[in-house]
Structure 1
Amino acid sequence: MKLELKLFGIPEIMLNGKRTEWSFKKAEALVIYLYMMKSAFKSDIADMLWGDTLNQEKTMQNYRNCIYTIRRALGKDIFIKKSGGIICLNDSYRITSDYDNLVSGKISVVDIEDVEFMKSYFLKESSLFNEWLDEKRNETRSFIIENSIAVIEDEISNGELDNAERIALKVMELDEFDERTYELLIQIYDAKGQFGKIIDLYNCLENLFREELAIAPSPSIKNLVEAARINRDRIQKKNSYGETEKSEIRLYGRNKERSSIRHEIQCFSEDHEASSIIVKGEEGIGKTSLVDSSTYKVSSKANIYRTQCYRAERNFILKPWYSVIQNISRNFRDVIETLPLNIVAPLVTVFPFLRTDKIMNDMEVDNIIFSNYEVIEREVVNLLLKIIENKKIIIIFEDIQWIDDVSLSLIRNILQMDKNRSLFLLMTARTPFPEKIDGMIYDMERSGYLSVINLDRFSKEETIEAARYISPDIELDENEADRLYLETEGNPFYIKEVLSSFIENGMFNNLTSNIKSLLHQRVSILNDEEKKILEIISVHFDGVRLAFLMNLSLTDEIKLVNILEKLIESNLVVERYENDDIVYQFSHMKIQEYVYAEMSRAKKKILHGKSASIFEDMLRDNGRESFYYSKIIYHYEKSGNIAKFIEYTIKYLYNHLCVAHEFFPVFEKQYETKVKIESENIEHHFSRIAKWVENVDLDLMEIETKNQISMFYHMIGRYYIRMGEYDKGKTYIEKLKMLNSVKIKQIDKKNIIKANRQLVCIYMNRFDQDDLGRIVEESLELVKDECDEEKAIWYRLKGYHGIMTGEIEKAREYLADSIRIFENSTEINKYIVNLAASHNWMGETYRIEGRYPDGSNHYERAISLCEESETLGGTPIFYANYGQYLFEMGKSDDSRVLFEKSLELYKMTDSLWGKSIPYSYLARMDFDMGKYDSAKSYIEKSIMYSKKLKSSYEKGICRNCAEYIIKRLNGEICTGASEIKSVLEKYLQISIKSTVK
């Protein structure tokens, strides 16, 4: 038998190569614990796994069950028992683990996919085990880090930089704050000449330390970065154009294009008819790689020279030719010195390296001063033609979209005069390019002097193949392949950079510095107005509509459309149709990220602020607030307008939680929000708002700020009350009352009433008669001058208080008044759930008195009001109360239908009020039918919800149900009822004497 334990990452136990599935997690934990500890006392294991919650007898019982589970899964001989109650695993199983393999050196840390020991492993109610596991994790982490640091240093010394890098990146997964790893990685990247990675690494470290520790990286790391920069500059200076031979370029695909270039070069070299070539395509499409691959060790007698056009130099005449002429003059100095003065002299002003003593002595000063560029252009052509006579020269021009006019004219003249006999031009141009470039290409292609190669993006299949070509060992699943294509859109440069990030980090990271440089050059070609529109679009995460752009940019529609067409032609922006409107967004997410990142902080704040203001003006009372609120919140937060951010965050949450958490809400709108916010997100929002509130001076605040804080106190208090956290919720509601009791104005009075409604929820849920009565009377005094509907709400609550105190006739009077006012209201839909609640409680008055026929109409009316208005409201409790009513009438089958419907509706709300009632009755009915398993489940849930609600009324119902079942258990034969017996014993803390099989 072979037992393998995978302890790094998510733990797994495999028997003979097959993974063992555990229905009982503590069984798996016991095996792992014994493996790590080698042996242990049975009592220690039992205490570690069950000691938190169970007595000794129950603990040992669970221990024995656990041992049985393990033996059934791994074999009866898996354990060896020793004297003194010690147990260990049987060595005959040939037990191995990745943990021992790592410690013994059989495997390296890079062989482990996830280096965290027993990642995310945790046992409920087993604090001793969890403490042991945390200690073991820390111990393992320290071992791996210290051991790996030594290995990395050795690998660097031995020149094994790739392996050293892989190990260092693994170590960073365990401790991202250990500066030693960063120092070693900087040394590795420096040795590999990857200065961009050094900068990215240092920036990440600096941000991490600033945000998490509020400190800066150590001076030693800064010194390493500076040393790497100096080394980089030295190497770059050494590797100027014309001095070194390029190494072979690995290039996937482009075979047809590469063959075309090599064919033309071969024809040129062998004095056959040939065409110079221009390779065009978007940034990163692979133009340079294609040129390099095509000219690498090409069979040619020609000398190759290379030059680059730069945007910053596009207004400097003949600057791209400078390096070419300089290198040619160096190689053919003897030829230049024999050339006539009239050819060389005019060029000295532009190319001072051509100056010689002879030239200076024979030249006239006026010739230098007054030489125009038409003369210079002509003489450069003459110079080149004289030098290359009977020779072959290839000149590579990179990025001619930045070329100056004179240099471009010179290219045209050379092509026309030489006709590719002695001089061959191989050029690249990024699309889109200026019309002057397009015109030259058109003329020269038509004349047969120039061929055009257009590079397109790779297809999805080609992208995947390119990834495999670049990194033969990489394995991408279908999702990762899709993500790679989505991230890169088939652009080879993006493929390489994104793939590199994926290989190094196991994830697709943000833009690398190389791509940033690439995008900088792409965007910088735009004029100021085009950049302005691009920047506006960049602040909108989901695109922007034309009308919005006009409003924000203050640009004429025709002019704006022309700019957008230019941006679309530049493949920076795309347009899409959404709801019969045109939306403009970036053609690639990375371009948007770059444009946004390059803007100044001030400009970002202004654009976000103006965008938020426009969305704010677009708000309409049409049920789409949440749609705009998310955008307004986003932009105000980004603009730094915290007050507005808080205002709309509160409004957004308030509108949602008003319906989701108000049991009998007043509908200010004719719709009900369908948006659900996760509890974690709600708590996150609350925390951010609370920090803002803490910084507000309550004595100096404006009335608007006071209203916002009031909304927040009401919202957060109501939320916690609905979650059953009454004390926490009551704290905020009391703050709301205190804040609005300082000076009673209309708005203040309404906030106090809102606060009282929440306190009512607490007292109703807890069945607190005294406090409920006090709040109802206080509120009736506050609303005496309010509309009748507001009074009716409190009449309803006064009626409910009467039910609680047993004053049924008085309760019925208040409920009747409440129903009358709501029924006659011109805004009945606004108070529909309150009307339904009044009918429900009217039905309750008849149920309590046993006047069963009289209550049915009220329950049915309550339910129909909610269903007809398509609102959940209090419908779950209405079904529950009606179910009680029918049950007491002896209609148990009908009541079951209502209770089950009630539970179905409770799943759609967060409310706890009344939730235990249907569980109690269903437990009783299922017990009577001999369905002990479901009865046990129902009674457990009833106990849980009644305890959480802390309602004495619901606790009473639950206890009555329990006592009913206990009574049935006494002396009766109840086969299979042992488990429900155990639950009730624990709940009621009594011993049930019964005949149980």
Structure 2
Amino acid sequence: MACKLEARFLGTPVIIKDGEEVFFSYNKVNALVYYILVRGTVMRDELSGILWADKPDTVARKNLRNAIYEAKKMLGSETFISPRKAIIKVNPDVEFDIDVKRFEENPEENLDLYKGDFLQGFFIKDSVEYEDWYLAERNRLKGLYMDTVRAKIEEAAEKKDFTVIERYGQMLLNYNPYDEGVYAILLRAYCEQGKMQQSMELYESMKDIFTRELHASVPEEIDSIIRQALQKDDTQPGFNKGVSVPIGRETEFEELSTHMWSFLRGRTGEALMIMGDAGSGKTSLKDAALSVLTDEVAVIQTNCYQMERNFLLHPWTGIMEGLVDLLRSRGTEVPDFELNRIYTLFPQMDMSIDRDLGLMEIKDILKFDSLFHTLSSVLDIASAEKKLVIVFEDIQWMDPLSLSLLNSLILRKQSDRLIFLLTGRDSREKDFQHFVTSVAMYKRLHITVLNPLTKKDIRRLVESRHLSMEVDDNLIQRLQLETEGNLFLLMECLHALESTGRFDSLTNNMQTIFKATCLSLTEEQQKILDFISLFYGGAPLAMISEYMQMDNLQLLDRLEVLEGKNLISPIPQQTEVIYEVTQQKLKEFVQKQLSPEKWKILHGYLAGLWEKRLTHSKQDIYIYQHLEYHFEQAGDLVMMGRYKLKSLMYYLNFSHELFPVLGTAEPMQTGGASYFTEADTLQYLESVEAMMERIRQTYGATPEVRNLELVYLHLIGRYFIREGKYEKGVRYILDLIEQSLEMNNRDYALMGYKQMIYYDIQIGNAEEMKNYLEIALDLAVECNYHKEVGILLRLKGLNMIMQGDFAEAERLLNESIATFMVTQTVARRYALNIAAAYNYIGEIRRGSGQFEEAIEYYDKALEICKNQQAYSSWVVFSCNAGIAAYSLGRYDKAKEYFEQAYNFFNRYDFYWRRPIVESYMALLAMKEGDEKKAIQFLDDAMAKLAMMNNPQEIGYVNMAIALIKKEYPSTEISRHYRGSASMYGGRALRYLDVYRDTHERKTIESMVNE
């Protein structure tokens, strides 16, 4: 009689034979059996490879034979067969019920077979290939299951089969918590059944996931479902229609309304709490939530005040008065013994005695149990005839005894006719934290958090005011920055905007609120707050500690108090602990309380603290902006100007193959953090010019101002020359040289001479370059500047190359390299100068037709650039290497070099050598048959020529056009550029360098002479 075999793989895997589970001797046998049963037919090599990939073939085959033997021994010798020696398969004559197979054949009918993930909990060691297989199968089968469940739910939604929807809906959301469609189906099912508690819990869960993980708001369709459900429910007894909901708080209002509705239906035991910062709209939302109730519900409210926090039970006095008045208004008599107990506990309420007894005087007679039972009894009596809502506002100021009493009443509340509605800010007070934690832990408190308004909400609120001005993105952005989404501040700004046309000043209401906030501070706390307000990007803990002359642990206690008052907060994800004032308007208020003298002195002190952090490295750029700000506020405009110019120098990325020094070499910024666009640069230059004019007018021509002027002239002149605006740039540099000589400032005179040398290199003026080199070398020798001599020797070597004296050029270049190799420190600092010297030796080799050797030198230069992350020099060296590779006919290698350079052109506003690179990219594009791209490259190259006016670049662009017109005469690109190939060739010969571009000139000459 044939045995009955079953395999259950959906969930924990089980093999059953004749009703009993089969256990194999080791895990690899299980793995083999599972694999064969699922696949049906497999190759032996496939099995040995997937299970014993780390073993030699002979060992793997032996292990496979042993495993198959073990499997057949347990399941039966005919279970697996081998029609051919290389194959093993499940015997079709053996009846084997496999759940995976049945599920795949008809998932909808066999949905219940899916008990869990495929091979759930199964694992074998040292078999990555097998793990990859079963994980892929697991994901595929789970996807098939979820697709089937999704189809089943959608079908159930049409039939309104709520049982199926609720059964599978949450399962789908666990699988994909971002599926908006499933949320919509499940929410409709809950709402149509009147399960508003479940619907709101699901809605809040979705909102939390979308906000926290997707940084998105809940889709409008979901909001619409909740709104429609609430509109239906607000027809229930106890609800009013037409409630005015604060803009931006619609979702929170719907959430509270749902809980109110549940309360009226007797379905909730939770207290409600609206939590938010000062001015976030807690009271407005509370009033809107209460306004949905009709006269069938009684509301008793009281406020907690900061100044009354030391008066025990003061908040409950108002509540008790309201309860007694409510009972008397209904004609309900409070038993005398209850009134006596009330008057004993709250003597202020007893008008028959002629005394003003403060609670602090009678706290010895207060008994907590007596308080609890008295209040509980009165609340039960008051809510017997009419549902009751007890409201406490600002419970963060509630005294500890009142909080304990409220805690007990909420936790022990039995009546479904009473609900507590609370508002408050988050507070670090232990009593408050204990109250919130303990009540929430037992699920007796639902907290609605009011986050800052989004830009979308701010726009809706502004548009609702029908301002006479245009509401554009700029206005919304400014309002968000000014108010940080705080509803109170936003409304004040809008009032100011309507009345004065501006909102950048503090209104009277703002000042009143902030003044009240600061009144409770001690002198020490105010001092800390004043200090933190002076920073524009947050105050480092170390600086606060130094200012307050406290160690960090002492200071943290003080800072936590200010945090608890919501006046300051730490800035997250910083390398050091940094604090900032919580609101911009509050910060402005605190700053305005400082006298002008104290303002200047403190900013000068802060500038000194920041200067202590300077490391004379690239990291200083992050400190310059702080120094610039604090020196300006301190009234020291010269020091402000110094650091503003340092910032500009860094961001303009000055590091060229001309005279690079590692200290000024720019890092490769993948995120563009240290990069200015052309528009940014021009705007910044305008601000620098305005700053210099302001400094001149303020101080006159003092030595400090004149020295700053030299920095400015060098910086601006260098920038304009680099950008190809030679006339303007040279004017600045010549002015620099004249003023530095007049002031006997030889350092800046030398800088001016070097910049003129750079200019002469760009325009190919070897003769003028030679003159400036002689002057600069004499000055460097006179000043005993050995490293400057090394730089100038390299440039003199380049000048020799431009004149065709290769032997003398190479001697000078090697001498320059030797100058920088005296020590490892010098070699590291001047590594880019060494790289530039290698580049020039490569130019000598290229000019001599030794292209392989030229590439070797270019690669040396490129390696140094890569190590030092100096990528504006990299593009020059890479361009030269590409030309040499192209001359050798190694087009793939040439393309690699040129693309490396081209990618950095797109990252920086850097045009030096760009027309040459684009010319060769065009030639390579034509070889690849991409004529459209070739035209684009050449058009871009032609446009750049006007910027740099470099003769060698002009020569290469014309050379490329000539070669293309010669080689591809019938193409569109040939017609795109008018004129003959000989005409462009003639232009190329006029501009190509006689000594360095010998190969290119020969190529053009042979073409022209044909």
Normalised-by-shorter TM-score class: 0.5 to 0.7
Q: How does 1:925-964 map to 2 (within 5 A)?
A: 926-927=925-926, 931-964=930-963
User: Which residue of the partner structure matches residue 800 of structure 1?
Assistant: 798
Q: Deviations over 1:261-304 (max 9, x none)?
A: 999xxxxxxxxxxxxx9999974454588579869998699999
Maintained 8 Å contact 1:935/1:980: no
Q: How does 1:504-515 map to 2 (within 5 A)?
A: 514-515=509-510
User: Which residue of the partner structure matches residue 615 of structure 1?
Assistant: 610
Q: Secondary structure at the match of 1:793?
A: helix
- Offset of 1:413 from its aligned partner? 12
Are 2:668 and 1:668 equivalent residues in the alignment?
Answer: no
Maintained 8 Å contact 1:282/1:430: no
User: Which residue of the partner structure matches residue 726 of structure 1?
Assistant: 726
Q: Distance in 1 between matches of 2:389 and 2:962?
A: 99
Q: Secondary structure at the match of 1:724?
A: coil
- Offset of 1:802 from its aligned partner? 1.9
Q: Distance in 2 between matches of 1:857 and 1:512?
A: 70
User: Cα gap change, 1:287/1:818 in structure 2, threshold over 3 Å: closer, same or farther?
Assistant: closer
Q: Secondary structure at the match of 2:713?
A: helix
Q: Secondary structure at the match of 1:809?
A: helix
Matched letter for residue 422 of structure 2: N
Maintained 8 Å contact 2:737/2:749: yes
Q: Deviations over 1:732-780 (max 9, x none)?
A: 2122212210143xxx212111111211121111111222111111111
Are 2:708 and 1:708 equivalent residues in the alignment?
Answer: yes
Maintained 8 Å contact 1:278/1:453: yes
Q: Deviations over 1:812-862 (max 9, x none)?
A: 332232233334454112222222222222232233344556544433333
Q: Distance in 2 between matches of 1:742 and 1:835?
A: 33
Q: Secondary structure at the match of 1:574?
A: strand
User: Cα gap change, 1:733/1:385 in structure 2, threshold over 3 Å: closer, same or farther?
Assistant: same
Matched letter for residue 820 of structure 1: A
Matched letter for residue 818 of structure 1: S
**Larger mean Cα displacement after TM superposition, 592-601 or 674-683:** 592-601
User: Which residue of the partner structure matches residue 766 of structure 1?
Assistant: 763
Are 2:422 and 1:454 equivalent residues in the alignment?
Answer: yes
Q: Distance in 1 between matches of 2:357 and 2:561?
A: 22
User: Which residue of the partner structure matches residue 912 of structure 1?
Assistant: 911
Q: Deviations over 1:314-357 (max 9, x none)?
A: 99xx9xx9xxxxxxxxxxxxxxxxxxxxxxxxxxxxxxxxxxxx
Matched letter for residue 644 of structure 1: M
Pick aligned residue for 2:637 from 642, 645, 648: 642
Matched letter for residue 806 of structure 1: G
Q: Distance in 2 between matches of 1:679 and 1:953?
A: 25
User: Which residue of the partner structure matches residue 818 of structure 2?
Assistant: 820
Q: Secondary structure at the match of 1:696?
A: helix
CA RMSD of aligned residues (A): 6.0
Are 2:857 and 1:862 equivalent residues in the alignment?
Answer: no
Q: Distance in 2 between matches of 1:516 and 1:661?
A: 54
Q: Secondary structure at the match of 2:870?
A: coil
Matched letter for residue 760 of structure 2: Y
User: Cα gap change, 1:705/1:379 in structure 2, threshold over 3 Å: closer, same or farther?
Assistant: same
Q: Distance in 1 between matches of 2:580 and 2:631?
A: 21
Q: Distance in 2 between matches of 1:920 and 1:723?
A: 20
User: Which residue of the partner structure matches residue 883 of structure 1?
Assistant: 882
Maintained 8 Å contact 2:922/2:937: yes
User: Which residue of the partner structure matches residue 368 of structure 1?
Assistant: none
Maintained 8 Å contact 2:274/2:422: yes
- Offset of 1:433 from its aligned partner? 3.5
Are 2:900 and 1:901 equivalent residues in the alignment?
Answer: yes
- Offset of 1:564 from its aligned partner? 1.9
Q: Deviations over 1:560-612 (max 9, x none)?
A: 33332222222333346655743333445554454345555554444433322
Q: Distance in 2 between matches of 1:257 and 1:900?
A: 64
Matched letter for residue 759 of structure 2: I
Q: Distance in 2 between matches of 1:903 and 1:649?
A: 31
Q: Distance in 2 between matches of 1:933 and 1:279?
A: 63
Matched letter for residue 951 of structure 1: N
Q: Secondary structure at the match of 2:871?
A: coil
Q: Distance in 2 between matches of 1:884 and 1:291?
A: 77
Maintained 8 Å contact 2:534/2:591: yes
User: Cα gap change, 1:764/1:483 in structure 2, threshold over 3 Å: closer, same or farther?
Assistant: closer
**Larger mean Cα displacement after TM superposition, 663-672 or 613-622:** 663-672
Q: Deviations over 1:210-263 (max 9, x none)?
A: xxxxxxxxxxxxxxxxxxxxxxxxxxxxxxxxxxxxx99878476699999999
User: Cα gap change, 1:809/1:583 in structure 2, threshold over 3 Å: closer, same or farther?
Assistant: closer
Q: Distance in 2 between matches of 1:288 and 1:546?
A: 37
Maintained 8 Å contact 2:964/2:974: no
User: Cα gap change, 1:412/1:477 in structure 2, threshold over 3 Å: closer, same or farther?
Assistant: farther
Q: How does 1:27-176 map to 2 (within 5 A)?
A: none
Q: Secondary structure at the match of 1:454?
A: strand
Q: Deviations over 1:51-95 (max 9, x none)?
A: xxxxxxxxxxxxxxxxxxxxxxxxxxxxxxxxxxxxxxxxxxxxx
Matched letter for residue 772 of structure 1: M
User: Cα gap change, 1:710/1:988 in structure 2, threshold over 3 Å: closer, same or farther?
Assistant: same
Q: Distance in 2 between matches of 1:656 and 1:775?
A: 28
- Offset of 1:548 from its aligned partner? 1.6
Are 2:732 and 1:738 equivalent residues in the alignment?
Answer: no
Maintained 8 Å contact 1:799/1:811: yes
Pick aligned residue for 2:522 from 527, 550, 554: 527
- Offset of 1:504 from its aligned partner? 12
User: Cα gap change, 1:260/1:384 in structure 2, threshold over 3 Å: closer, same or farther?
Assistant: farther
Q: Distance in 2 between matches of 1:824 and 1:493?
A: 68
User: Cα gap change, 1:859/1:976 in structure 2, threshold over 3 Å: closer, same or farther?
Assistant: closer
User: Cα gap change, 1:601/1:983 in structure 2, threshold over 3 Å: closer, same or farther?
Assistant: farther
User: Cα gap change, 1:600/1:877 in structure 2, threshold over 3 Å: closer, same or farther?
Assistant: same
Q: Distance in 2 between matches of 1:280 and 1:460?
A: 5
Q: Distance in 1 between matches of 2:951 and 2:545?
A: 62
Are 2:672 and 1:677 equivalent residues in the alignment?
Answer: no
User: Cα gap change, 1:984/1:286 in structure 2, threshold over 3 Å: closer, same or farther?
Assistant: farther
Maintained 8 Å contact 2:919/2:941: yes
User: Cα gap change, 1:637/1:781 in structure 2, threshold over 3 Å: closer, same or farther?
Assistant: same
Q: Distance in 1 between matches of 2:639 and 2:357?
A: 52
User: Which residue of the partner structure matches residue 595 of structure 1?
Assistant: 590
Matched letter for residue 707 of structure 1: N
Q: Distance in 2 between matches of 1:915 and 1:690?
A: 30
- Offset of 1:689 from its aligned partner? 3.1
TM-score using structure 1 length: 0.53
User: Which residue of the partner structure matches residue 627 of structure 2?
Assistant: 632
Q: Distance in 1 between matches of 2:932 and 2:293?
A: 82
User: Cα gap change, 1:288/1:618 in structure 2, threshold over 3 Å: closer, same or farther?
Assistant: same
- Offset of 1:782 from its aligned partner? 0.9
Maintained 8 Å contact 1:822/1:835: yes
**Larger mean Cα displacement after TM superposition, 885-894 or 532-541:** 885-894
Q: Secondary structure at the match of 1:911?
A: coil
Q: Secondary structure at the match of 1:620?
A: coil
Maintained 8 Å contact 2:713/2:733: yes
User: What number of residue pairs does the alignment pair up?
Assistant: 650
User: Cα gap change, 1:944/1:379 in structure 2, threshold over 3 Å: closer, same or farther?
Assistant: closer
User: Which residue of the partner structure matches residue 774 of structure 2?
Assistant: 777
User: Cα gap change, 1:545/1:974 in structure 2, threshold over 3 Å: closer, same or farther?
Assistant: closer
Q: How does 1:692-703 map to 2 (within 5 A)?
A: 692-694=691-693, 695-696=695-696, 701=701, 703=703
- Offset of 1:710 from its aligned partner? 1.9
- Unpaired runs of 5+ residues, structure 2, are 1-241, 247-252, 266-271, 318-345, 383-387, 426-446, 466-470, 988-1010
Q: Secondary structure at the match of 1:455?
A: strand
